[in-house]
């Protein structure tokens, strides 16, 4: 081993080395592999192509997009070394509350009969506010009471679901105005997802916000000693995650033209799975929006592939569980493969 | 010595820190002159790191005063101390493993293009260039600055931390056991960086357990024992035995047959 002409020890880490293959590239290769397997299985068992079917693909992309919006927020939370289990319930609560401000006057049983036909900005602001409040409560609890994120967001998960059910005593909220419904029609959810992804890709990669998010997940103590206001930053990150869950809730409600208290159940786990499949490390400090984007598509391809193969829905649930655990195991394996520096 | 009057750069009066019932630092009166390099020595748990944390704004003292350049200071965070010109290398390296060298050097004070609060865009180019300069100035060579810190040796990591402090420190630098985990070569390099600081006239407080190093590098030795300042010795007017007897609290006079070093 050639010593690099320096006083510092000549360990292998001194050598200018090629960067290891990125998790994003690995995930992309995985995506291609999985898609090809389904293509092959399609021809064997269904006698048709899996990939070359625009209808199937567009349904898949739509499904991925809604949960993907949540996954963008969850990715940032996980990079700080935290977790957000409340997003699915925040989706439910936001869908109900936002929808109640978006109803048409021609519907006789509106939640607020005197508040119908409101301009679309009202329910959107209400929905975003719901998400922000939920996320901010998570963030404040985690940053200032030092409750583990798992527990704090578990509490929010139960509470927000309770609010969703209590809000109309379990009755669905339907008949939105056309302008609110437009939020979920056609390919709008996909565009919303991609716009959000691009926005936070830039924020994480090119701004101080991103640098501090990674720093906190890497070494919270170091971040604090370097003068980063860790508490304020965590509140910001969890608030953004809540806001995005709220946005997803509105998109789902608009798409289905109805809001129900049970909406978004288990979405938090799907979102976490997308992030982890895409290389976001549950131990914090590593991951990217691009990775989560690829993870989301992988997740969508697997679910849509199993539907395509007419796999029983029960099996699909079980396999989802296996995928999540497998992604986490893969992450832990990568952890152990990291060079130990100390 | 000649009667040259040197300004006091840092003085503490009755500096005290209690953690609940633990009296980690008790009534410390400390003084550091302009351009002076001093060491703080003492057994484990003597309160050395606690002292460093009060001076650098990491913690707030329970009681007592910190006077920096003659003015009483109240540091609410490390940022306040840094803005006053005080930098530190902490005992538990304050580095973010998953970030690269420039990100670590500029952690918490990133260079940006324009101010958009937390969403200000990073000027990575400037940070890289300034990091290279900082490392050059301290004589540290790290082949690939874009490697994450996790992929570097302990010595390289320590050098990054020291370069960070050395390049930003304008008035005072504190190092808490900077060579504790290092090999011979890395230790030499760190000591060279410290000598460079002396030449630049930047005052230093060095916490160390290594008496040989202390005698080689500093002007004065402050001895801490069980949270209190046990005494101050001038490096060229004392010897290891006297320092050790102050550290252990064993009466001076036994030091002729002391075998601690
Ligand atoms: N955050 C804390 N909470 C409670 N006790 C603390 C805390 N930090 C330090 N102490 C206690 O204060 C005392 C002084 O600790 P300090 O870390 O300052 O010692 P030190 O001189 O730096 O020792 P070492 O040489 O081992 O680094 C110890 O008894 C320690 O247990
Ligand atoms: Mg210490």
| CATH at residue A296 | 1.10.3470
Calculate how close chain B gets to A216, using CA atoms only, in Å: 8
Q: What does the DSSP 8-state code read for residue B72? A: E
Residues within 8 A of B (CB atoms), A 179-198 only: none
What distance in Å separates the CA atoms of residue B60 and residue A299, rounded to the nearest whole number? 49
Nearest CA to ligand 1 atom 27: B44
What distance in Å separates the CA atoms of residue A125 and residue B178, rounded to the nearest whole number? 53
Task: Establish if A95 belongs to a structural domain.
Answer: yes
- A280 contact partners, CB below 8 Å, separation of at least 6: A75, A78, A79, A286, A287, A288, A291, A292, A295
Give the pLDDT of residue A166. Answer: 97
* Percent of chain A's residues with pLDDT above 70: 92
Question: Where does ligand 1 bind, in terms of residues with CB under 6 Å?
Answer: B 19, 22, 24, 42, 44-50, 91
- State the virtual CA torsion across A73, A76, A80, A82 in degrees, nearest 10: 30
Give the pLDDT of residue A338. Answer: 62
Which residues pair with residue B172 across a beta bridge? B86
Select from B94, B118, B151 the Cβ nearest to the Cβ of A222.
B94
Instruction: Give tens-digit pLDDT for B79-138.
Output: 889 889 999 998 777 899 999 999 999 998 999 998 888 999 999 999 999 999 988 887
Task: Establish if A234 belongs to a structural domain.
Answer: yes
Give the pLDDT of residue A20. Answer: 54
Give the pLDDT of residue A320. Answer: 83
Give the pLDDT of residue B173. Answer: 95
ipTM of this complex prediction, to 2 decimal places = 0.81
Write down all domains in chain B, each with its CATH number in brackets.
2-248 (3.40.50.300)
Are B49 and B227 in contact, with CB atoms under 8 Å apart? no
| Tokens (6 digits) for A215 | 């720093």
| SS3 (DSSP) at A190 | helix
Residues in A touching B142 (Cβ below 8 Å): 8
Helix/strand/coil (H, E, C) string of A274-287? HHHHCCCCCCCCCC
Range of the domain at A32: 24-39+49-332
Total structural domains within chain A: 1
Going by their DSSP bridges, the two strands B37-42 and B63-68 should be labelled as unpaired
**Exposure string (b/e) for B30-61, b if CB count within 10 Å is 16 or more?**
bbbbebbbbbbbbeeebbbbbbbbbbbbbbeb
pTM of structure: 0.87
Task: Establish if A257 belongs to a structural domain.
Answer: yes
| SS3 (DSSP) at A47 | coil
Average of pLDDT values for A245-261?
A: 96
**Substitution candidate for ligand 1 out of B15, B16, B17, B19 with most atoms within 8 A of CB:** B19
Which strand ranges, in their side-by-side order, compose the sheet holding B63-68? Answer: B22-33, B8-19, B63-68, B71-73
CB contact (8 A) between residue B151 and residue A6 = no
Instruction: Give the residue among B55, B58, B72, B90 at the shortest CA–CA distance from B172.
Output: B55
Going by their DSSP bridges, the two strands B37-42 and A258-259 should be labelled as unpaired
Q: What does the DSSP 8-state code read for residue B139? A: T
Q: Which atom of ligand 1 is nearest to the CA of B224?
A: 21
| SS3 (DSSP) at A51 | coil
Task: Establish if A217 belongs to a structural domain.
Answer: yes
Give the pLDDT of residue A21. Answer: 63
Give the pLDDT of residue B186. Answer: 83
| Tokens (6 digits) for B119 | 């969403």
Task: Establish if A175 belongs to a structural domain.
Answer: yes
Instruction: Give tens-digit pLDDT for A51-85.
Output: 888 898 999 999 999 999 999 999 999 999 999 99
Task: Establish if A1 belongs to a structural domain.
Answer: no
Task: Establish if A117 belongs to a structural domain.
Answer: yes
Give the pLDDT of residue B4. Answer: 60
| Among A18-22, A110-114, A226-230, B131-135, the least confident range | A18-22
> Which uninterrupted H or E stretch holds B68?
strand B63-68
């Amino acid at each position: 081993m050639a010593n690099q002409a320096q006083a510092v020890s000549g360990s292998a880490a001194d050598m200018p080395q090629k960067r290891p293959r990125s998790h994003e590239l690995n995930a992309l290769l995985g995506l291609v592999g999985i898609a090809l397997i389904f293509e092959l299985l399609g021809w064997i068992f269904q006698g048709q192509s899996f990939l070359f079917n625009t209808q199937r693909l567009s349904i898949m992309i739509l499904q991925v997009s809604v949960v993907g919006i949540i996954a963008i927020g969850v990715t940032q939370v996980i990079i700080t070394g935290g977790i957000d289990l409340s997003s699915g319930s925040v989706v439910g609560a936001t869908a109900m509350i936002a929808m109640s401000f978006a109803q048409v006057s021609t519907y006789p049983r509106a939640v607020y009969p005197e508040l119908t036909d409101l301009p679309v900005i009202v329910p959107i602001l209400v929905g975003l506010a719901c998400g922000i409040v939920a996320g901010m409560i998570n963030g404040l609890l985690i940053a200032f009471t030092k409750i583990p994120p798992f527990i704090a967001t578990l509490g929010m998960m139960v509470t927000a679901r309770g609010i969703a059910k209590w809000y109309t005593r379990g009755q669905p909220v339907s008949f939105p105005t056309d302008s609110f419904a437009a939020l979920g029609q056609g390919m709008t959810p996909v565009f919303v997802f991609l716009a959000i992804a691009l926005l936070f890709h830039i924020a994480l990669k090119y701004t101080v916000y991103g640098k501090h998010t990674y720093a906190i997940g890497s070494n919270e103590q170091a971040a604090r000693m370097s003068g980063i206001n860790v508490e304020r930053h965590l509140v910001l990150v969890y608030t953004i995650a809540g806001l995005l869950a709220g946005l997803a809730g509105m998109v789902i409600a608009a798409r289905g033209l109805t809001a129900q208290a049970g909406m978004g159940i288990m979405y938090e786990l799907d979102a976490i799975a997308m992030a982890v499949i895409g290389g976001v490390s549950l131990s914090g400090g590593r991951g990217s929006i691009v990775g989560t984007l690829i993870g989301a598509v992988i997740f969508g391809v697997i679910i849509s592939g199993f539907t395509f193969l007419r796999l029983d829905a029960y099996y699909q649930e079980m396999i989802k569980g296996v995928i999540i655990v497998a992604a986490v195991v893969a992450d832990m394996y990568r952890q152990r493969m990291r060079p130990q520096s100390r | 010595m000649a009667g040259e009057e040197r300004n006091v750069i840092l003085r503490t009066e009755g500096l005290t820190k209690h953690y609940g019932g633990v009296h980690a630092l008790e009534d410390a009166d400390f003084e550091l002159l302009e351009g002076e390099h001093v060491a703080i020595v003492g057994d484990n748990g003597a309160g050395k790191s606690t002292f460093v944390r009060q001076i650098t704004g990491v913690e707030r003292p329970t009681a007592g005063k910190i006077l920096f350049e003659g003015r009483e200071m109240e540091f609410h965070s490390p940022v306040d101390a840094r803005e006053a010109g005080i930098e530190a290398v902490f005992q538990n390296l304050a580095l973010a493993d998953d970030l690269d060298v420039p990100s670590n050097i500029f952690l918490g004070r990133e260079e940006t293009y324009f101010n958009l609060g937390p969403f200000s865009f990073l000027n990575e180019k400037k940070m890289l260039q300034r990091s290279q300069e900082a490392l050059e100035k301290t004589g540290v060579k790290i082949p690939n600055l874009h490697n994450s810190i996790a992929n570097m040796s302990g010595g390289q990591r320590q050098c990054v931390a020291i370069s960070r402090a050395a390049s930003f420190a304008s008035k005072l630098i504190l190092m808490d056991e900077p060579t504790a985990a290092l090999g011979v070569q890395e230790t030499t390099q760190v000591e060279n960086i410290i000598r460079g600081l002396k030449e630049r006239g930047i005052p230093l407080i060095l916490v160390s357990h290594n008496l040989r190093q202390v005698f080689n590098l500093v002007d004065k030795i402050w001895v801490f024992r069980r949270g209190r300042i046990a005494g101050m010795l001038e490096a060229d007017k004392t010897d290891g035995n006297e320092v050790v007897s102050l550290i252990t609290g064993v009466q001076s006079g036994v030091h002729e047959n002391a075998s601690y070093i």
